[in-house]
Amino acid sequence: MVTTALSEPIERLHRWPSSVACLAAAGTGSGARRLSFVRDSSMTRVVNVVRGALTGRGLQAVLLKGGAASLVIKAVSTLLGMWVAILLARGLGPDNYGVYTHVMAIVSVLALPAQVGLPALVVRETAKAQATGQWGLMRGLWRWASLVALGASLVVVGLAVAGGWCLREQLNPVHTQTMLIALLMTPVVALGTLRGSALQGLKRLVAGQLPEQILRPLVYALVLTIFLNAAPGRLTPVGAMGFYCGTACLVFAVGAILLWRARPAPLRAGPPPVYEKRAWWQAVLPLSLISGVGVLKSQTDILMLGWLLPSEQVGIYRAAVSVAGLVAFGLQAVNMVVAPYFAKFHAEGDRVRLQKLVTRTGWLMLALAVPVVMVLLVSGGAVLALLFGPVYREGSVALAIMAAGQLVNVATGSVGVLLNMTGHEKDILRGSILSAVLNVVLNLVLIPRLGVSGAAVASSVTLSFQMITLCFYVRQRLGIRTLPALRKRN
């Protein structure tokens, strides 16, 4: 296997620092020349190992290539997301940006029935169907998931529009109009997410991420930039949401074309669709609860800030959240790559390769996160002021707190994806419910006393609690260690 073939040069790389130290102890001119020679030859071996892995066709090459592409996409997506957040924060101002953010949080919660855990199911079952050559089952899965998502989306939109019409006199007009526009994109976003999940399950990592991660924020940022230059000071939450919906529709069309072209040849032959609705529903129900609880937990701070504090404070907090998210971009990128392989190795019963994959990706994610955390802890206020404007410097304390929480999230590894891909959704659900309840309680207690910093404490504590709990479940169910070890185990 590729990993076995690479084990010897990788072990040599681990021994390289100690060899260099022994030579350095000589202290003579000849010793220095030897040191230079060893360093040059060792670096040559590093280059050769990486080059051989990248040009190969085994699993190691696939993971390295996919991981590199995914990291690049995620990095670019993060930068584009920051660009969008900066444009919105500066163009709308803290008050209107808070309105926009609060509406997005409300719509995310209302749109939960349109997702119902389907994306994770589609990734897992698509990967399994491809591995076993069950193309009819794959076609039936895609069709069934699309119909369920579309039907749920239309129900959500209908109920929300009817409720908004009945309560139109009691609601803020700006909030109501912005929310109604946002609800219109619910079916598009739901189907677009399924499309990306299908591509991910087919291991088309770049095609699966490109529309949502790159194209959508890029087009949205360009539209906002053009509008802000043409009509400075005239951007409103309603207009910003309208631009977002139009962008989502365009990106959905592009993504649909990518999936159409990425279909495997046996699937293009049009095999009769095979349905396992009962099994899918049984799997999707715990996944939907996990997804729902996760979204509720992630939006609790924004929702409660919007109810308890002025909109300006919501805008400041949202800016801090955007920057704190930079810490975990490596985790999210790597998860996109390894999810199908978690399912594959578990199905094959290969726990050794699964543990190696978890360990190596864990160290990679941690190495990417630590430098970002250090910068945010030292200069978080300056970063906020530089990106969003001086008024947003107020969120520096909240930013530092959330950066620390994200570091714990990264250090625990891909625990959620690992449990999902191995069929242990109920364990995720238990951890999610406990952390969600804790999040609500902490927000109720801390926001009135500490404002945005209180919401940050609640978010970081509950995130850390959930990740550590999932680490315990991974160890108990799978015998896999996700926390990077500081020393080699005997």
Residues near 337 by beta carbon (within 8 Å), at least 6 away in sequence: 63, 66, 67, 70, 205
What pLDDT score does 458 carry?
93
Flag whether pLDDT at 146 surpasses 50: yes
> Residue 219 and residue 228: Cα distance in Å, rounded?
14
Structure tokens at 279: 């099994």
Residues near 291 by beta carbon (within 8 Å), at least 6 away in sequence: 112, 115, 116, 117, 119, 120
Least confident piece of the model among 27-31, 80-84, 135-139, 245-249: 27-31
Q: What is the mean pLDDT of the chain?
A: 78
What pLDDT score does 206 carry?
74
Query: Regarding predicted confidence, which is higher, 454 or 283?
Result: 454
**Single pTM value for the model:** 0.67
Query: What distance lies between CA 17 and its chain's CA centroid?
Result: 35
Query: Regarding predicted confidence, which is higher, 104 or 48?
Result: 104
What pLDDT score does 484 carry?
59
Flag whether pLDDT at 345 surpasses 90: no
Give the mean pLDDT of 56-73: 59
| Banded model confidence at residue 31, pLDDT cuts 50, 70, 90 | very low
Query: Regarding predicted confidence, which is higher, 424 or 475?
Result: 475
Give the mean pLDDT of 411-427: 79
Structure tokens at 215: 């194209």
Flag whether pLDDT at 431 surpasses 50: yes
Flag whether pLDDT at 489 surpasses 70: no
Flag whether pLDDT at 45 surpasses 50: no
Structure tokens at 340: 């199908």
Residues near 398 by beta carbon (within 8 Å), at least 6 away in sequence: 317, 320, 452, 453, 455, 456
Flag whether pLDDT at 222 surpasses 90: yes
| Banded model confidence at residue 429, pLDDT cuts 50, 70, 90 | confident
What pLDDT score does 417 carry?
80
Give the mean pLDDT of 211-215: 85
Flag whether pLDDT at 101 surpasses 80: yes
> Residue 189 and residue 112: Cα distance in Å, rounded?
11
Flag whether pLDDT at 17 surpasses 60: no
The answer to whether 177 and 141 have CB atoms below 8 angstroms apart is no
